Amino acid sequence: MKDFSDFEKKTKIIFKDKSLLAQAFVHRSYINENPSAGLAHNERLEFLGDAVLELIVTDYLYKKYSSYAEGELTAVRSALVNAVIISESASALGMNEFLFLSKGEARDTGKARSYILANTYEAYVGAVYLDQGYRLAERFVRDSLLHKTDEIVNKKLWRDAKSLVQEKAQEFISITPAYKVISEFGPDHDKHFTVGIYFGKNLIAEGKGKSKQEAEVRAAEAALKAKNWLD
C-alpha cells in the first residue's frame, strides 16, 4: 500500500478510512493486472464525486454571479468542470505520484493520463465526502479548483466554444469547421471519445470527452487557443 501521509499533509485532510483514500487513486487497469491486490477501482467514487463536485461548483457560481442567467451559469460551470481544467488541478496537487496503474497505463503520460487524473480528482472528492462530509469536500474544491473561475470569466472562456470557433473561422478564413471522431474506447457504459476539428482537410486540434458532444466542445476550445481567437 502506498503512503499517502504527504498527500494528506498537503491537502490538510486526514482520512479516517485510509482504504477509502487509496481507492480514489486506483484505476481499473491496475485491478485487471493485479486482481489479488485486495483493492477496488475508483469508478464508483468517481460517480459520486462527479455529483458532489457539480453541486459545489453550482452553489459557488450561483452565489458569486447573481446577475448571470441560467444559460450563462451553465456555460461557466461547463468551462470549469472539464477534464482539462480538473486534470491541471490534480497535477498541481501531485495526484500523479499516487496513482495505481497498470504497467501499460503507467507508460502513457499524454492525454490519456490527463483524463485519468481528472477522474481521480472526482473520485477523491467522492472519497472526501464519504469520509469527512460535504463541508470539507467543499473546502477542498474551493482551494484546488474554484480559484480558476475568475480567469474563465474574465477571458470569457465560458462562451459556447463551438459557436465561437465557427464564427471566427467563417470571419477569418471563410470555412465552416467539421468534427470527426478520431478514436473511441471503453465499454458502452463508460465510452471515451477523441474528436478532431478540421478546417477543410487540416486537423486543427483534438478534444476528449465521455460523449461526442463533450469531445467536440473540448476540440473547439483547443482550436480557439491554437488560433489565438480568444479575445
List Cβ neighbours of 61 (8 Å cut-off, separation of 6 or more): 68, 73, 76, 77, 80, 149
Whose CA is closest to 221, among 154, 152, 172?
152
d(CA 37, CA 31): 7
Q: Are 85 and 148 in contact (CB under 8 A)?
A: yes
DSSP letter (8 states) at residue 40: -
Any binding-site annotation on 122? Answer: yes
> Could you list the pLDDT tens digit for every one of the 231 residues in the chain?
688 999 999 999 999 999 999 999 999 999 999 988 888 999 999 999 999 999 999 999 999 999 998 988 988 898 899 888 999 999 999 999 999 999 888 887 777 788 899 999 999 999 999 999 999 999 999 999 999 999 888 877 677 788 889 989 999 999 999 999 999 988 887 789 999 999 999 999 999 988 898 899 889 989 998 998 876
Any binding-site annotation on 46? Answer: yes
Domains contained in the chain, CATH given: 5-154 (1.10.1520.10), 161-226 (3.30.160.20)
Spell out where the chain has E strands: 178-185, 192-199, 202-209
Whose CA is closest to 56, among 116, 135, 152?
135
User: What integer pLDDT is reported at residue 95 of this predicted model?
Assistant: 96
Which residues are tagged catalytic? 50, 122
User: What integer pLDDT is reported at residue 1 of this predicted model?
Assistant: 65
Any binding-site annotation on 43? Answer: no
Q: Are 36 and 18 in contact (CB under 8 A)?
A: no
Q: Are 65 and 56 in contact (CB under 8 A)?
A: no
d(CA 178, CA 196): 8
Containing 115, the helix (H) or strand (E) segment is helix 111-132
Q: Are 165 and 220 in contact (CB under 8 A)?
A: yes
Neighbours of 78 (CB within 10 A): 15
